[in-house]
Structure 1
Amino acid sequence: DNFSAFERQKKINISHYFTLTQYDQNDKKSSAIFKPTSVNNSFGEYISKLGLKQLRIAETEKYPHVTFFFNGGNETVYEGEDRILVPSPQVATYDLKPEMSAFEVAQKLTDAIQSKKYQAIICNFANADMVGHTGNLDAAIKAMEALDTCIGQVVNAMEKIGGEVIITADHGNAELMKDYENKQVHTQHTTNVVPLLYVGRKASIKPNGKLSDIAPTLLHLMGEKQP
């Protein structure tokens, strides 16, 4: 009714419509073809029930990914769970500051590791994705150099206390900054196979894993049973 881009000769009264997924649960005129999936007993919820301490840490751009999204779309802060939010830099695009807030995240993460307070820490470094989206190759290289330093610092801190580290992602981005088929700058996520790197005791990691294997793997390394 508020459409004013051009005059319409005929107005259609839509009584009901369908969307692929749910956009607004309060919209009574729409129905989602694929209903929201309820995730129960997520990794964070499960280890909380076990009485374990956990930390979620990221800068602003990826903070929801280690909290809301990691909990399966749940805003709950579980018992024994701490959260650290590091502000992302205020720049127009992150190729202007490719290191973003990675060094601050790494330092706070190192401090948390050294405290030996937590049995599980979930961290997200935003650089590879956010700088990758700019399409600026030189900036992406600087972002990776910063991440290399930060991850090295974190892994070193974890090794000193006898801990274990898993490094992975849910998609690629910065590894492909140019589409070699059309010669255009590439700014989107990729479908490349994502590696999972393990640092710790001599555990045997099976090949060809998937995202759903990560939480069970974490529980195995922690010496806990799968629910």
Structure 2
Amino acid sequence: HLVGLVSPGGVHSSEEHLYALLELAKREKIDRVFVQAILDGRDTIYNAGIDFIRKLQIKMKEIGVGRIASLSGRYFAMDRDNRWDRCEKAYRAMAEGAAEAASEDPERAVEESYARQVYDEEFVPTVIGDGGKPVATLEEGDAVIFFNFRPDRMRELAEAFVLPAFAKFERQSVKNCFFATTTEYEKDLPVEVAYSPEIIRTCLAKVISDAGLRQLHIAETEKYAHVTFFLNGTIEEPFSGEDRVIIPSPRVSSYDQKPEMSAREIADRVVKEISADKYDFIILNFANADMVGHTGNLEATIKAAEAVDEGIGAVVRAALGKDGVALVTADHGNGEEVQNLQTGEIDKEHSTNPIPLIIIGKQWEGQTGGVVEVVGGDLSLTSPVGILADVAPTILKIMNLQQPEEMTGRPLI
């Protein structure tokens, strides 16, 4: 069973990895190979999944091995917010051949879903059948390979498959199965890992910790991993002097129903901590522009941006009130581009537009950080002068901390 996101988006998985696994199976003369396919629609156009499934079908025919056994939207199969009811539906379709929907033809299943205006991301888990029976279910002695390389959105589904003592929902016990993940999804998960993690030992949080300073990492559930596991170089445990706060994300089926998300709660907590003078460095993540942008709902995305603007305003005022410095940046765009101006179609995936780095502090007022001229006062018309790797060195320079050799970026001030 090959489980993962069938998408060229490149954020969570690679189609080429899936094709390589199929070729490996063919080379090793394994003829019973089943793809438990997850549809994207978030890092790709919302209704492009039919093309990726069609391409996969052609590729499997060329290689001479593989059948699609189930289809699930990533809304169900790749949840990371402990919404186990979603995960359960994907798991049952993949492992037990049980779902609300069934079809004998994967392409037709997707086409019929589109006709109901249910697109890739929200595609209801569907069992693919043959002669009235599921093409495949998880049986004793089977092997399961999870081919997503990004961990955060595969942890829940992987746990449902592999944990001996699993209590989130009832499942049938299947003995003597072999489980493997492309990368390490979680410490102590009972699986084989194809590619062990490359530990980034000298990350920003480590340098701040080694200097004897206190730091706070805070986000809502949807982005908690980003300010902890990812920011800290895939190290799970906090460094000395590092505190973490997780604010629950709202319990809605789609964040365009509550575009404010938990921005106000995050801002209020950060303002409180700034006032208490406990921390030398605080990193926070406002999830709204990305998460609501992924819905493709323009009106809701505008409200999301307004909520972030309000939150940033409160945090910046608090920081300046303590003679502190605030930095505002991102690692990609999304909310600024939710409609294709050529076709009028909704655009739910990340954009590749340059990202501003705004430094706010009395001592930095009027500086341009290498930008000679902001054309017409419009930052979007200005060529980039830095990359994401320059953000940490910039922070360290502001904090008067030595940049380690391992950091190859440069300060932008």
Answer whether TM exceeds 0.5 for this pair.
Answer: yes
1:203-222 deviations in whole A, cap 9, x for unaligned? 34234111111111111001
- The answer to whether the 8 A contact 2:296-2:348 is kept is yes
State the shift of 1:36 in Å.
4.0
Structure 2 Cα separation of the partners of residues 162 and 112 of structure 1: 15
1:103-137 deviations in whole A, cap 9, x for unaligned? 00000010011111111111000000000001101
State the shift of 1:47 in Å.
1.1
Structure 1 Cα separation of the partners of residues 200 and 183 of structure 2: 19
- Residue identity in the other structure for 1:127: N
Structure 2 Cα separation of the partners of residues 43 and 62 of structure 1: 18
Pick one of 191, 197, 201 that aligns with 1:40.
201
Identity over aligned residues, as a percent?
Answer: 44
- Residue identity in the other structure for 1:149: E
Structure 2 Cα separation of the partners of residues 20 and 67 of structure 1: 20
State the shift of 1:201 in Å.
3.2
Q: Does 1:221 align with 2:382?
A: no
1:7-31 deviations in whole A, cap 9, x for unaligned? 69xxxxxx9x9x7956255765x85
Tell me, which stretches of 5 or more residues in structure 2 are unaligned?
1-31, 35-96, 98-128, 137-142, 150-180, 185-189, 372-384, 405-413
For 1:111, the equivalent position in structure 2 comes to 272
- The answer to whether the 8 A contact 2:182-2:194 is kept is no
For 2:370, the equivalent position in structure 1 comes to 206
Structure 2 Cα separation of the partners of residues 147 and 47 of structure 1: 26
Q: Does 1:75 align with 2:236?
A: yes
Tell me, which stretches of 5 or more residues in structure 1 are unaligned?
9-14
The 5-angstrom pairing of residues 46-65 of structure 1 reads 46-65=207-226
For 1:12, the equivalent position in structure 2 comes to none
- The answer to whether the 8 A contact 2:199-2:235 is kept is no
Pick one of 319, 336, 346 that aligns with 1:185.
346
What is the TM-score of this pair, normalised by structure 1? 0.87
- The answer to whether the 8 A contact 2:183-2:194 is kept is no
State the shift of 1:37 in Å.
3.0
The 5-angstrom pairing of residues 99-178 of structure 1 reads 99-178=260-339
Structure 2 Cα separation of the partners of residues 87 and 27 of structure 1: 29
Structure 2 Cα separation of the partners of residues 178 and 88 of structure 1: 26
Pick one of 95, 110, 121 that aligns with 2:256.
95
- Residue identity in the other structure for 2:243: D
SS in 2 for 1:121: strand
- Residue identity in the other structure for 2:314: Q
Seen in structure 2, the aligned counterparts of structure 1 residues 24 and 153 have a Cα distance that, compared at 3 Å, is closer
- Residue identity in the other structure for 1:23: T
State the shift of 1:55 in Å.
0.3
Figure out how many residues of one structure are paired with residues of the other and give that number.
218
Structure 1 Cα separation of the partners of residues 349 and 286 of structure 2: 18
For 1:23, the equivalent position in structure 2 comes to 182
1:165-217 deviations in whole A, cap 9, x for unaligned? 11000000000010123321000000000111110133342341111111111
- Residue identity in the other structure for 1:83: R
Seen in structure 2, the aligned counterparts of structure 1 residues 70 and 24 have a Cα distance that, compared at 3 Å, is closer
- The answer to whether the 8 A contact 2:183-2:197 is kept is no
- Residue identity in the other structure for 1:98: P
1:42-77 deviations in whole A, cap 9, x for unaligned? 111121111100000011111110000101111021
When structure 1 is superposed on structure 2, of 161-170 and 203-212 the one drifting more is 203-212
Q: Which has the higher contact order (CA 8 A, sep 6+)?
A: 1
Structure 2 Cα separation of the partners of residues 47 and 146 of structure 1: 30
For 2:247, the equivalent position in structure 1 comes to 86
- Residue identity in the other structure for 2:331: D
SS in 2 for 1:57: strand
